[in-house]
Amino acid sequence: MTGNARAEQQITVNDIEVGMRVYEALAHHARTGLGAPIGYKDLLTLARSLHAKDAVLGRAVPIGIGMKLRFVDAFCAAHACPRLSSLAVDQESMLPAKGYDGDWEADRRAAAAFDWSNADAQLPAFASAQRAAVPARLKPRKERPADVSWYAYFCSHRKECEWIGQEDKQEIINLIMAGLDPETALRRVKAARADAAGPT
């Protein structure tokens, strides 16, 4: 894996912070939704209803959910829990992301049947360990400097950025705020678009 590919897949503090809220929303949904899938947008709405004053969560957009679900998967794997992320699906197709590697139906049933109360208590320590593993070079920035950094990059790369919509831009800004450079943030959002839901 090249340095750029590693940077694109590097978990950031933003992925961890939002990932914790996504985990909590998924665990809540597992308890109440009986294994029914929940669209990414609805999942973020549920997370916000549980944490209305969380500014980082407030900026989260569905296109950025993939790395947050990777955080959830890592937590579940580390604690021998069912795959909670199996409940999260593309809002339009109601299918998991392309390349879902597992028995989706069985994973959802297992997540719905599991008692998440013990796992919930282990989430803060896991998140703390994940934060400690984030490279020091990924220094968080405030929103305004991140926006200025993105605008400067965009102005010199307009042709390559023609496909970017409002949600894409928001996620790029979130990633720059999390310490990624504009080019890496752009590639990560483009990769997320490519991984959008499809047949499993």
Cα separation of 42 and 25, whole Å?
10
Contact 130, 74 (CB under 8 A): yes
Considering 133, 161, 180, which residue would you say is the last residue of a domain?
A: 133
In percent, the amount of the chain with pLDDT more than 90 equals 77
Residue 185 falls inside a structural domain: yes
What is the structure's pLDDT at 89? 94
Q: What is the mean pLDDT of the chain?
A: 90
Let me know whether 40 and 120 are in one domain: yes
The per-residue pLDDT for 100 is 86
**How many angstroms separate the CA atoms of 183 and 80, rounded?**
36
Asked if the model's pLDDT at residue 120 lies above 80, the reply is: yes
- Using one digit for the tens of pLDDT, what is the confidence trace for 178-188? 999 999 999 99
Looking at the structure of the chain, the number of domains it has is: 2
**Do residues 84 and 15 share a domain?**
yes
| pLDDT at site 196 | 67
Using DSSP's 3-state secondary structure scheme, residue 90 falls into: coil
Q: What is the pLDDT of residue 8?
A: 54
For residue 70, what pLDDT is reported?
Answer: 94
When pLDDT is cut at 50, 70 and 90, the band that residue 122 belongs to is very high
What share of the chain in percent tops pLDDT 70?
94
Domain boundary, last residue among 87, 114, 133: 133
- Structural domain span for residue 176: 143-197
CB 34 within 8 A of CB 112: yes
- Both 60 and 87 in one domain: the answer is yes
Average pLDDT over residues 96-106: 88
Collapsed DSSP state (helix, strand, coil) of residue 97? strand
pLDDT, residue 41, reads 96
- Given a cut of 80, whether residue 147 has pLDDT beyond it is yes
Listed ranges 15-29, 93-107, 135-149; the one with the highest mean pLDDT: 15-29
Query: Is residue 198 a contact partner of residue 22, using CB atoms and an 8 Å limit?
Result: no
Structure token digits, residue 119:
């796992």
Instruction: Say which DSSP state 102 is in.
Output: S
Judge whether 96 lies within some domain: yes
